[in-house]
Every structure is written in C-alpha cells, then in structure tokens.
Amino acid sequence: MEGLQNALNDRGLTVTILPEKGRSLFTTRNFHPGEEIISQEPYVCVPNNSTVESRCDRCFASINLKKCSACKVSWYCSSTCQKSEWKLHRLECDALARLDKDRHKSVTPSIRLIIKLFIRRKLQSEKVIPTTATDNYKLVEALIDHMSGIDEKQLVLYAQMGTLVNLILQWPEMNVKEIARHFSKLACNAHTICDSELRPLGTGLYPVISIINHSCLPNAVLVFEGRSAVVRAVQHIPAGAEVSISYIETAGSTMTRQKALKENYLFTCTCSQCVKDQEDEIKESAILEGYRCKNDQCDGFLLRNSDDTGFTCQQCGLVRNKEEIQNIASQIKSISDEASTSMFHQNCGEALFMYEKLEELQKILCHPYSISLMQTREKLLKISMELENWTKALLYCKLTISVYQIREMTRFNVSSWALVTQPFYEYELGKLARICWMKGKHGELYSGIHPLLGLQFYTCGKLEWLLGYTEDAVKSYTKAFDILRITHGTNSSFMKDLLLKLEEARAEASYKHSSMEDE
Ligand SMILES: C[S@@+](CC[C@H](N)C(=O)[O-])C[C@H]1O[C@@H](n2cnc3c(N)ncnc32)[C@H](O)[C@@H]1O
C-alpha cells in the first residue's frame, strides 16, 4: 500500500483508517469546487448488454458494433477497441466459446465482471499485463467484502453464481467460497458507469475510488468520462477533510436512505443529514412520503392522529380521514400497476394517459414535495419526450426542477421545509435560498450542486429552445452550465456541446431582441 500512499500524496490525498468506517480518503490540501480530486480507469468493467441493446466492451459505444465471432458474447465498435481488450478477452473468449448456447443466457454482466477480474489477476501475476501503484490486484484484495454480515439467502445465491463461474473458467485452483467472497466485494464496491446524462451503461470496479466513503450530504461527486471514473469537489474542501460521495439517491427521507445503505452497503450512516432529532425525522417523512392537506391552498404536512382515525395538518389543523386516504391510495396502487405495464410494453400513448391519471390522484393524496409525485412527473417527462410532445415535456420538467431546487436548498435543514409555502414561485425560492445561505454561513454544510438538477436545467433549456422560448432557454442553459461545470468539468464533449447550445441560444436571443428594437 506504500505505492498507493505515495501516488495519493502527490495528489494531495491520503488514506486514513477510521474505527467506524474503515479506510477513508482524506485531503492534505485544499480543493476548490469543480476541481478533480482523483480519477481512475477501471480494474475491470462490463457493459449492461441485453437482448434489447448492446454496447462495445471497451468504450461502451452503441454504434457500428460487431460481435466477437468466437464467443458470441462480446461486442466491439472498432478493431482498435477489440485489439486493446484482446489480452484480457482471449482467455474469456476461450472459456465462453466452450459453453453451449443455453448456458450463454446465464452469462450476466455480474458473472462476466467476476470472470474478467480473475483473468486480470492471473495476467497481472504472470506479468502479461503490467501493474502500477493504482492498478493491481492487492487493491482489490483490500476491498471490504462484508462476508460475515450478509444473509444466508444471499450467500446461497453467491455460491450458485460461484459454481457457474467455476464451470466457465475450469481453473482447478479456484474454489466457490473464494468466488462468492469476490461477488460480495463487488456488491459493496463496484460502481454503475453512467454517461454524462447519468444513463447507466455498465458496471466497473475502481479500487482506489472505492476507498471513498458515503455521505448523504457529500462534498464530492463521482461522474464518468467514457469508462474513466472522475471524482470532483462540489464545494470547497479544506486540507484535512474526508472526501465523501453519495452511494445512493439522496432525495429520499432519512429512513429510506438508511434502509438502502443498510441493505446494500451494510452500515448505518451517521452523517449530519442522518443525525436528526426524532421530530425533524417525522416531519421529513411526512413531507417526502406523506399526505397533503385537504385545503388546496395549504402546504402543511400531516401527522397521524393519536386515535388512528385520520391525519391532521400541522399548519391549519384540518383532518383527513383514514378511509378517504385508504380509498385514494388503493386507486393509486392499481393505476400505478397499469401504468408500469404500459411502460413495459412500450405503449407510450397509453402510458402517458395512465401516468397523467396517476399524477392527478397523487396531487390529491400526496404532499406537493412527495417523492412518488416527483417520480411520476419524471416518468411523464420521459414519455412526453418519447412522444415528442415538447409542451407537455416542458411542463413536467419545470415541475420537477422546482422540487429538486427546494430539496437541494433544504437538504441540510429540515426546519426550512416549513418556510416553503408557495412552492412554484421564484420569489419563494429566492427567499429560501437567502435563508439557507445565511444558515450555511453559520457552519452548516450546504451544497446546491447536484448533477441531476444541472441535467434537468439542461433538458429544460433544450425544450425551451425547441419551442422557440429563446430567452428562457438561455437562462436554463446558463443554470445548467453553472452546475454541470462543477460536477462534470468543462472538457468533456457533452460540456462542449452544452456551451455551444448556450452560445447559439444567446446569439438568437440577442438577434430577436435587436429585431424587436428595430420594429
Ligand atoms: C466502497 S467501501 C468504502 C471504503 C471502506 N471504508 C473500506 O474500508 O474499504 C463501502 C463500505 O465502507 C463503509 N462505509 C462507507 N461509508 C460509510 C459511512 N458513512 N459510515 C460507516 N461506514 C461506511 C461500509 O462498510 C461500506 O460497505
């Protein structure tokens, strides 16, 4: 590990072992917002290839693909990609080519990831593939595996997958227990590789990046440039601070986040977002997962009555009765099932109709900032885009942005939720931003920089541009750029394209403006 420490020292980083978290990455110098903290190529990675969509094994491109004629599992977009993977693929190819057609179906991306990992370990130990301080199997060996914490059912599954890997590789020195331990390692250390718009492309193992621990209020973000993982600071990080990223979608309530972290990563988060007093935690769940007030004009949150007959608004005191709530909730359940079925069958017209019905019901039942309502609107945005209904798409995009913004502003402090009375007015957002900023100055962490918010502004800008709302498009692209230059850097082709779109929109807006002045 000395080599790793030296490599990290050069970057202003160090690994420290904390009793409650294990290995942790710390800074030894200041990092400014948007600055790259660390980047790494994967030790191994695989695309999420399916029968519907395939991607190049090397660069994850989805065009000009040709299947490897020997194993009929790997795809490559060019001979350059095929050649650069060949040393690794040669052994995998021999193993996969031995399998009969039926067995091919069980070669999932996770099975391939493990196979590639063992092949890479073998080739590095035989010095066919070189090792470096940040690219060697010892770093994989050092990853936590939580074998003693996982349940019996999961162990059985890993053992079954291990048996399949053994059958494919046919290496006498391998045993199922060792393979199962590596599956367990991957479960809590591998990362989903996404494109710039956060669409999942595959899975990769980045053993140095995997040293970074989780926080629900992280000071850094992990994005991908092709298959390279890049961690960037989203706020000023002083020397001597721990670098943290988020392993999960942080929009959920504390209870939901804690559950996801416990189930997938086997720890209880104690970050500042998670350590709240019980009253704040109840308030937070009531807003994100609870019901709305019967009075349309009131945005109060509801708490269950002590006699369990209904829920009372904590702002105006109105009561919603339990039967009425149960009735709407059961309608929501059945429409939601129908909507998912239409989506599954890619029947966009029907899905749009069903999700709109669902949204109407959720608006009656759920708090305006509820997660399920926001998720429905995200689906409606996606479907409207598929159907090229830009006006509808823009409406849903704006509705989600408002909630994302309020969430980002209030994430660090639940009592700020109570200040949000008029959800979709810029005035209120501005007021809230000022309050949050003042609180931030008094030492509480505040990060309004979230890639999802930046990407939603980007989509909004594209829709406004398409609909001819040029000045609005300039504003949205500018907001997108201000956030994404920090999370994504400015060098990627995605960011260059965003800048180009912004410049084009600005030029058209100023042309429109001058033509109006001439008239
Ligand atoms: C990707 S690893 C991170 C590096 C890990 N600390 C190590 O020693 O290798 C993920 C594991 O680290 C631990 N971990 C990560 N974030 C944590 C946190 N905020 N609090 C406690 N443990 C954490 C958990 O055991 C989790 O399963």
Report how far ligand 1's centroid is from the alpha carbon of 18 (Å): 10
Whole-number pLDDT of residue 402: 85
Alpha-carbon distance of 304 to 282, in angstroms, equals 11
Q: What separation in angstroms does the CA of 210 have from each of 127, 140, 339?
A: 24, 9, 37
Q: What is the pLDDT of residues 93-123, one digit of tens each?
A: 999 999 988 888 899 999 999 999 999 999 9
Alpha-carbon distance of 465 to 508, in angstroms, equals 10
Query: All domains of the chain, ordered by start, with CATH?
Result: 1-41+206-275 (2.170.270.10), 77-192 (no CATH)
Alpha-carbon distance of 246 to 2, in angstroms, equals 27
Evaluate whether 356 touches 374 at the Cβ level (below 8 Å). Answer: no
CB count within 10 Å of CB 238 equals 10
Q: Furthest-apart CA pair in the chain: how many Å?
A: 84
> Would the CB of 265 count as within 6 Å of ligand 1?
yes
- The candidate with the shortest Cα–Cα distance to 73, out of 168, 158, 148, 200, is 168
Whole-number pLDDT of residue 421: 36
Q: What is the pLDDT of residues 36-95, one digit of tens each?
A: 999 999 999 999 977 778 999 999 999 999 999 999 999 999 999 999 999 999 999 999
> Would the CB of 275 count as within 6 Å of ligand 1?
no
Alpha-carbon distance of 383 to 247, in angstroms, equals 27
ipTM comes to 1.00
Whole-number pLDDT of residue 418: 44
220-225 and 228-233 beta bridge pairing: antiparallel
Query: Tokens 């050092």 appear where?
Result: 142
Whole-number pLDDT of residue 413: 52
Pocket test for ligand 1, best of 189, 213, 219 (most atoms within 8 A of CB): 213
What global pTM score does this model have?
0.90
Sheet with strand 228-233: strands edge to edge: 36-40, 228-233, 220-225
Alpha-carbon distance of 112 to 107, in angstroms, equals 6
Whole-number pLDDT of residue 171: 95
> Would the CB of 214 count as within 6 Å of ligand 1?
yes
Q: Is 40 helix (H, G, I), strand (E, B) or coil?
A: strand
The minimum-distance atom of ligand 1 relative to the CA of 144 is 9
Enumerate residue ranges in the chain where pLDDT < 70: 408-448
66-67 and 310-313 beta bridge pairing: unpaired
> Would the CB of 243 count as within 6 Å of ligand 1?
no
Q: Within 13 Å of residue 448, how many CA atoms lie on the same side as its CB?
A: 19
Q: Is 301 helix (H, G, I), strand (E, B) or coil?
A: coil
Give the torsion sign (CA, 397, 400, 402, 404): negative
Q: How many helices (H) and strands (E) does the chain have?
A: 17, 15
> Would the CB of 211 count as within 6 Å of ligand 1?
yes
- The candidate with the shortest Cα–Cα distance to 343, out of 353, 331, 334, is 353
